[in-house]
A = this chain, B = another copy of it.
């Protein structure tokens, strides 16, 4: 390791490699136990996320139990049925959607439900007074830390969002003041796809970076003050690897 302040090239490469090769995994889980020291490590990475007012409002429910997973799977199946019916007027996409594998609840080694506790160190939390959602946003930063750490350890993570919050609360005995934010399926994988599954299946493509950048104001896609940056951003549009 380099000194504590600056990053060596290999250290920088490691971070970008995790960011660019991280995948939302549903299909490639293999039967192999994650050692507990790695579970502990990725949880610690999550716990070091930024949080509004240092409120650290997250909890992690670790799930192995098969009966609980079966209930979660059934909740997923029923929520998915609802989604499919929303596409009744678009049979092309409906058929495509039905072919997608969208979860690895049973095949993954473990599941983790990450929750948000609005009461943690409250009611006054610095920085949460104008935008209450920032409490939930902190938990999302923890999810992303966990996801990147898992990737670096060769472990896949899939975020299953096709379950209702009510079902999650009921199955996991989560009280009403606690909000489930993410339900994750976690395990070793045979491989990480080179592009996201939804790109591979032709559902959507990655946008060009330049199309999501504005200058000084919403909608302003050109700026003299920023001249030179736009060309650089255009040049990374097609280069997504490090």
8 A Cβ contacts from A25-67 to B: 36-37, 39-41, 43-45, 47-50, 52-56, 58-65
A106 close to chain B: CB less than 8 A:
no
A8 contacts B14, C-beta separation under 8 Å:
yes
**What is the bound-complex CA distance between A182 and B219, given in angstroms?**
17
A118 close to chain B: CB less than 8 A:
no
A165 close to chain B: CB less than 8 A:
yes
CB-CB < 8 A to A149: which residues of B? Answer: 15-16, 19
A95 nearest CB across to chain B (Å)? 14
A168 nearest CB across to chain B (Å)? 9
Copies of this protein, total: 2
CB-CB < 8 A to A41: which residues of B? Answer: 236
Q: Using known A-B contacts A56-B212, A65-B216, determine if residue A152 contacts B86 with beta carbons closer than 8 Å.
A: no
B19 contacts A14, C-beta separation under 8 Å:
no
**What is the bound-complex CA distance between A207 and B120, given in angstroms?**
11
Label chain A's interface by main secondary structure: mixed
A64 contacts B213, C-beta separation under 8 Å:
no
A47 contacts B212, C-beta separation under 8 Å:
yes
Q: Mark A190-234, 1 if CB is under 8 A from B, else 0.
A: 011000101100011011010011111111000001101100110
A79 contacts B129, C-beta separation under 8 Å:
yes
**What is the bound-complex CA distance between A161 and B11, given in angstroms?**
30
CB-CB < 8 A to A86: which residues of B? Answer: 124, 129
B37 contacts A13, C-beta separation under 8 Å:
no
Q: Using known A-B contacts A1-B13, A161-B128, determine if residue A172 contacts B217 with beta carbons closer than 8 Å.
A: yes
8 A Cβ contacts from A144-158 to B: 144-145, 147-149, 152-154
A228 contacts B36, C-beta separation under 8 Å:
yes
A99 close to chain B: CB less than 8 A:
no
CB-CB < 8 A to A198: which residues of B? Answer: 53-54, 126
A79 contacts B130, C-beta separation under 8 Å:
yes
A68 close to chain B: CB less than 8 A:
yes
**What is the bound-complex CA distance between A125 and B108, given in angstroms?**
25
CB-CB < 8 A to A60: which residues of B? Answer: 212-214
Q: A11-B13, A13-B14, A144-B145 are in contact. List 5 more A-B contacts (CB 8 A).
A: A14-B15, A44-B240, A126-B203, A134-B161, A141-B144
